[in-house]
Structure 1
Amino acid sequence: MFLFMAIGVFNITSLFLLFYIFFAFNYWKYLLILFSAIFLISNFGYYKYSQLVFVPIFFAIFFQ
């Protein structure tokens, strides 16, 4: 139970990091990638596909 709580807090902090990246560097077109990642996580299981949260970070790093 504590493991799931820690995973949930970790994913929430990573989402705040993503919003900081988007609003600091004006990556408005990558918000679609973020919403699609949230959609995939909410549909196919939050803890199983929680690594999809980091997909927009890689897009923001490699496509500057």
Structure 2
Amino acid sequence: MPTDNSTQSRPRMAAIYMPGTVRGYRPSSGWTARADLTDIHPITGRALVRAVWWIIETKE
């Protein structure tokens, strides 16, 4: 059975930035945000393969 390429999911591409790159993020009104570099998944508590940055938003 042929597959329709338009319905197949594409692999998610991770953004890779050079060391020292500064990225801006502005949370929605009434929210604060912080970045956290972690090797533990903040929801499941399981160890990740490598450390990744998470943006954590909290309601003011």
Q: TM-score range by the shorter chain?
A: under 0.3
Q: Larger radius of gyration, structure 1 or 2?
A: 2
| TM-score calculated relative to the size of structure 1 | 0.24
Higher strand residue share: 2
| TM-score calculated relative to the size of structure 2 | 0.24
